[in-house]
Amino acid sequence: MRLDKNDIYQIEKPLITELDREEAFDYVFNYDGKTDNTDTQNIFLSGVKPANQNLVNEVNTPIYLPWKKVKHKKLPDGLCDNRVFTHEVFWAVVKITRNSKAQKSPIKTETGEFFTWGLFPEQERILHSLDITVGGNLIGFEAPQKKAEKEKNTVVLNGIIEEAIATSQLEGASTTRAVAKKFLQEGRKPKNKSEHMILNSYLAMKKIEEEYKNKELSLELLFEMHSVITQNTINADEIHRLRKDTDEIVIESDTIGEIIYIPPSESFLASEIQNLIDFANNKNDEYFIHPVIKAVMIHFWIGYLHPFTDGNGRLARLLFFWYLLKHNYWAVSYLPISTVIKKAPAQYWQAYVYSEQDDCDLNYFIDFHLRKIQESIDNFKSYIETKSQENKTINKSLKQTYAFNDRQIQLLKYLSKDENHRTSLTAHVNVYQVTKATGIKDLKALEQEGFLETTKEGKFLYYYGTTKIESLFN
């Protein structure tokens, strides 16, 4: 039995009366009573009162606030010629200004309404910052062709591993980051569904970086991506096909224990999936959309259509990376954005729900993601700067005394942090993207100097740090 919207969690929205709307127009615009007040754009062009616009801007930027937050905002006295100025009137004001910036997106609902979007100053500032960093120079990290390939590969691989872990944890993978990272680096086989999810996401991210970014999206590629991220985690008859009504898929929030979304019918999905593919391939574009905004829209559209029985969230985030890498935002490979989203899972699903339920306003979803991308960049910068300071004195001393290379120094620092930390030849090769021969040479040199000792566990040989490491970093 197909559920309807009465079975779904509903966001809080105020009841706006016609009087509220009249008060709102009087407040926002230099309205002389002669202009048809249904023509929002014409009135808007007549000039927004500056003081009033500042008040409205506070709920649009730097964070795009929903009614749930706006209703608690303290409003100044005497805003409307001493008339009562309620939060409902203020919300009507907010909606007027938001609608005035709204552009129609190609994403539409099953009832034929189109989602809209429009940028505000803080969002434009973030986009400019992203163009400089993710599409340009990230903390001195120049484009890959201008950077040592092995060094670039090591940093990218770390970003891919972190993203694979976080994106899977967002979808329910129940393992710790440390355990997941170790199993990926050591190259052992997954033991359970959670580890399969993480390995699949890791392999899919590597395929994006190495192969998929050079291809146009197609239904066949969509099926292939979905197959990679769901291998050994769903039934075989759920792969290489779109979701059906008989699958009875609903989305429930773990945080509130309620259904928050029911995907559209299979007939609507079948009619819209090609529109999404065309949009992702930049076909039939009516106007320019910034690549980052477009990547976010693709992310939302996959989540909204929910084309498969499982794995849609991971696929949506995968396509976000695919689109940006395809359009030369190369540094996105370094940024495990899902690790930031994972810290605010409720905000993530709320961004979806607000966009769907608040007049199809995509800005909630766009604003959330732009802020999380910026946060991810800030975290990466902080990490690099901290590591750089740590490395300056340690690297110089170790290179002069022992002639160790950077890989060996990084390994020693890793092992010094916890006596249970270990590595293996496979892990060393995977982490630093070197040949097996180079990996053996690195590890044997450290063992000969007394910094490593080997332990055989089953058929695997592991390297642990010795107490001699303590003298290097104390």
Task: State pLDDT tens for residues 162-209.
Answer: 888 888 888 888 788 888 888 888 888 888 999 999 999 989 998 998
d(CA 420, CA 406): 22
- The mean pLDDT of the chain is 83
CATH architecture designation of domain 404-473: Orthogonal Bundle (1.10)
Per the CB < 8 A criterion, the answer to whether 130 and 115 are in contact is no
* Eight-class DSSP state of 189: P
pLDDT score for 43: 38
Q: pLDDT band for position 368 (50/70/90)?
A: very high
Range of lowest pLDDT (25-29, 305-309, 341-345, 380-384): 25-29
On the question of a common fold for 111-380 and 404-473, the answer reads no
Per the CB < 8 A criterion, the answer to whether 56 and 94 are in contact is yes
* Eight-class DSSP state of 463: E
d(CA 80, CA 82): 5
Look at phi and psi of residue 433 and say left if phi exceeds 0, alpha if psi is from -120 to 50, else beta. left
**Residue ranges of domains in the chain:** 5-101, 111-380, 404-473
39/23: higher pLDDT = 23
Once rounded to an integer, what is the mean pLDDT over residues 64-82?
78
DSSP state letters, 173-187: --S-HHHHHHHHHHT
CA-wise closest residue to 324 among 312, 337, 314: 337
Tell me the three state secondary structure of residue 207: helix
d(CA 29, CA 93): 10
Once rounded to an integer, what is the mean pLDDT over residues 317-341?
87
d(CA 107, CA 316): 15
Per the CB < 8 A criterion, the answer to whether 186 and 271 are in contact is no
Range of lowest pLDDT (72-81, 119-128, 352-361): 72-81
**Backbone φ, ψ for residue 361 (5° rounding):** -95, 100
Once rounded to an integer, what is the mean pLDDT over residues 304-312?
97
d(CA 270, CA 112): 15
CATH class of domain segment(s) 111-380: mainly alpha
Extract long-range pairs of 360-363: CB within 8 Å, 24+ residues apart.
360/109, 360/113, 360/114, 360/115, 360/116, 361/98, 361/102, 361/115, 361/116, 361/117, 362/105, 362/107, 362/115, 362/116, 362/117, 362/297, 362/300, 363/64, 363/98, 363/117, 363/118, 363/120, 363/123
pLDDT tens column, 253-287: 888 889 999 999 999 999 999 999 999 999 988 88
pLDDT tens column, 102-153: 999 999 999 999 999 999 888 999 998 888 877 655 545 554 444 445 555 6
pLDDT score for 150: 54
Strands 422-423 and 452-457: what pairing? unpaired
d(CA 466, CA 412): 10
pLDDT tens column, 373-398: 999 888 887 877 776 666 665 666 67
- Report whether pLDDT(304) > 70: yes
Q: pLDDT band for position 51 (50/70/90)?
A: low
Encoded tokens for 11: 């966001």
Q: pLDDT band for position 90 (50/70/90)?
A: confident
Q: Name residue, tokens 């019918």.
A: 265
CA-wise closest residue to 297 among 66, 119, 56, 97: 119
Q: pLDDT band for position 39 (50/70/90)?
A: very low
CA-wise closest residue to 280 among 243, 241, 321: 321
- Report whether pLDDT(37) > 80: no
Range of lowest pLDDT (26-40, 315-329, 446-460): 26-40
- Report whether pLDDT(46) > 70: no
Helices (H), 232-336: 266-280, 291-305, 312-326
Q: pLDDT band for position 36 (50/70/90)?
A: very low
Per the CB < 8 A criterion, the answer to whether 90 and 71 are in contact is no
